[in-house]
Amino acid sequence: MPPGCQCNCYCYLCFLTSAVCQVSCPWPNTASKTVKFFAKYYKKKLTMSDELEFVDFWYVMIAINDVLIILGSCLKVQLEQRVLDGQQYNLCSALLGTGNLLVWAGVLRYLGFFKKYNILILTMRRAFPNILRFLLCALLLYCGFCFCGWVVLGPHHIKFRSLSMTSECLFALMNGDDMFATFAILSETDGIIWWFCRLYLYLFLILFIYCVLSLFLSVIMDSYETIREIHEHGAQPGELQRFISECSDTATSTAYLEDDHSPKRSTANIISDFFPCFRRRGYTAI
């Protein structure tokens, strides 16, 4: 099959999967109706975690990787036909490579259906908000060390000549790479700069290796322990889950026999299209 036909096939498949994802994700409308329902009938505001129950981030990731692959394939076709110059190869490879990475990451979704294999997904999902908050605090401290090293050591140390080189050097040191060479580049004849470099590097290594990295791992381990407790003892349900759990009717119950075509349908059923068990009469407060 010619390369152009292969790219066209890939584009058609990506368009198809994107369309399927959009059809399968009516969550903005459903989430909005649910929030209004709880605010009107229960005088309660759903938490962010409850609202995110309506969002399937796997579909969002699939849509993003489809867009990246479509754009990369279009660029590849134009490059093969000499419509664009060779300078666009880097952009094309970046789009296709990132799209391919997201495709393989999406395979984890199918492992999530097995209880014994979804521990990585659940731990990352649980730890993600705490990791972001922790990294924000650590980033401020890291930026302070970067600017300090660049300003003071830049004229004297080859690894601190630019801000990007300083950041790369500190990140390597934080992971235990090339420590001795970083200390040994400066000679004792530099006087106060030599002493400042020692004090600066020792302080950075002690703070980030023994404190920041250890706390970072503890945040992830705490999420792992929480997920393990949920598997063993069950999770504490939120407002939305408690409301859903009130429905104990089976599929053959007469509670589902309400005439949906009746013009007098109650506004209390605005989210019944998403949860059929909400069609029961007589809601009780949570």
Domain extent listing, the chain: 1-113, 114-235
CA dihedral over 14, 19, 21, 27, signed as positive or negative: positive
Smallest Cα–Cα separation from 74: which of 86, 83, 65? Answer: 83
Smallest Cα–Cα separation from 166: which of 200, 135, 123? Answer: 200
* Predicted pLDDT at 233: 63
* Predicted pLDDT at 215: 92
Cα separation of 179 and 205, whole Å?
10
Lowest-confidence range among 65-74, 117-126, 190-199?
117-126
With a CB cutoff of 8 Å and minimum separation 6, the contacts of 283 are 41, 268
Confidence of residue 198 (pLDDT cuts 50, 70, 90): very high
SS3 2: coil
* Predicted pLDDT at 15: 66
Q: pLDDT digit string (tens) for 136-173?
A: 999 999 999 999 999 999 988 899 999 999 999 999 99
Start-to-end CA span in the chain (Å): 61
Q: Please state the φ and ψ torsions of residue 282, each to the nearest 5 degrees.
A: 75, 70
Confidence of residue 98 (pLDDT cuts 50, 70, 90): very high
User: How wide is the angle at C-alpha 119 spanned by C-alphas 113 and 121, nearest 5°?
Assistant: 75
Which of 6-10, 129-133, 190-194, 243-247 ranks highest by mean pLDDT? 129-133
Confidence of residue 10 (pLDDT cuts 50, 70, 90): low
Write out the two tokens for 53: 């129950």
Q: What is the mean pLDDT of the chain?
A: 77
User: What letter would DSSP give residue 81?
Assistant: T
* Predicted pLDDT at 204: 95
Where do the H-state alpha helices sit in 108-156?
108-111, 119-153
With a CB cutoff of 8 Å and minimum separation 6, the contacts of 265 are none
Mean pLDDT along residues 17-45: 69
Q: pLDDT digit string (tens) for 38-60?
A: 777 777 777 766 666 777 778 88
Mean pLDDT along residues 212-234: 84
Mean pLDDT along residues 100-109: 87
* Predicted pLDDT at 90: 86
Q: Residue 72 half-sphere exposure, CB side, CA atoms within 13 Å?
A: 20
Cα separation of 157 and 143, whole Å?
18
Where do the H-state alpha helices sit in the chain?
3-23, 27-41, 48-51, 57-80, 89-106, 108-111, 119-153, 163-174, 179-184, 192-205, 213-233, 239-245
Q: Are 76 and 92 in contact (CB under 8 A)?
A: yes
* Predicted pLDDT at 274: 44
Would the pTM count as exceeding 0.75? no
